[in-house]
Copies of this chain bind each other. A is one copy, B any other.
C-alpha cells in the first residue's frame, strides 16, 4: 500500500515547516503499518496555475499526478493563512480538478477507491474550516474521506507561537494524527478488498 503526502507550506526546503513536523507523525504511523510513503513539498516544485494535468514547459505536476494515481492514500497537509488553506493547497486542488474527468480502465473516476485525510497547522485558528474545504474539494474529485481522518494544531485566540516553538497541545495533535493514519489505512484496505464497482 502506498501513500503520498502533499505538504502545502509556503516555505521552500530546507526551511523548517511546522506542517511537516505534524505530518511526520502520520507518516511514521503509516510506515509502521507497512505503507510506503512519498512526501512532496509543493513549494519546492514548479507548479503553474491551471486546471489540466500537464501544462507543459517545465510543469512538475505530471510527476505528482502519477504518484497520486499510484497511491491508495493521500495525506493533504497545509498551514492556515488568513484562516484558510494555503495558496499551494488550492493550487493542488485546481490541478487535481482535471482528475474529475479522468477514468480508470473500468471507467470509474481515477480517485475512486482512494482515501484522503488532512493535516493542518497554524498559530491561531481555522483548522476545522481548512479540513472542511479540502475534504469538500477531494470528495468532489472522488476521494473517500474516512471518519476522523484529520489532525491539526493551533493555539488561539490571537497571534501566538508556532507548532515548533512550544510543546503545548502536541500530545493531543499527535494522538489524533495516529488515529488519522489508522483510519486512512483501514478504509483503504476495505476499499482494496471490495472496491466501488464500475
Interface residues of A in 148-168 (CB under 8 A from B): 148-150, 152-158
Contact of A132 among B10, B132, B153, B176 (CB under 8 A): B132
Contacts known (A125-B127, A187-B196, A191-B187); A157 close to B152, Cβ less than 8 A: yes
Q: Is the CB of B83 within 8 A of A90?
A: no
Choose from B86, B147, B157 the contact partner of A153 (Cβ within 8 Å).
B157
Q: Does more than half of chain A's interface fall in helix, strand or loop, or is it mixed?
A: mixed
Query: Across the interface, which residues of B come within 8 angstroms of A81, CB to CB?
Result: 51, 90, 93-94, 97
Q: A58 interface residue, CB < 8 Å from B?
A: no
Binary interface profile of A, 101-145, with partner B (CB < 8 Å = 1, else 0)?
000000001011010000000001111110111011101111111
Pair B186/A196 contact, Cβ less than 8 Å: yes
Which single residue of chain B is at the shortest CB-CB distance from A183? Answer: B196
Q: Which residue of B lies closest to A193 (CB)?
A: B194
Distance in Å: Cβ of A140 to nearest Cβ of chain B: 6
Contact across chains for B128 and A140 when beta carbons are under 8 A apart: yes
Closest to A80 in B: B128
Flag whether A84 is at the interface (Cβ < 8 A).
yes
Task: With both chains docked as a complex, state the minimum distance between the C-beta of A22 and any C-beta of chain B, in angstroms.
Answer: 10
Task: Select from chain B the residue with minimum beta-carbon distance to A101.
Answer: B159
State how many angstroms separate the Cβ of A149 from the closest Cβ of chain B.
7
Q: A63 → chain B, closest Cβ, in Å?
A: 19
Say whether, besides A128-B126, A154-B157, A139 and B149 are in contact (CB < 8 Å): yes
Interface residues in chain A, defined as those with a beta carbon under 8 Å from any beta carbon in chain B: 10, 43, 49-51, 81-88, 90-91, 93-94, 96-97, 109, 111-112, 114, 124-129, 131-133, 135-137, 139-150, 152-158, 169, 172-173, 176, 182-183, 186-187, 189-191, 193-197
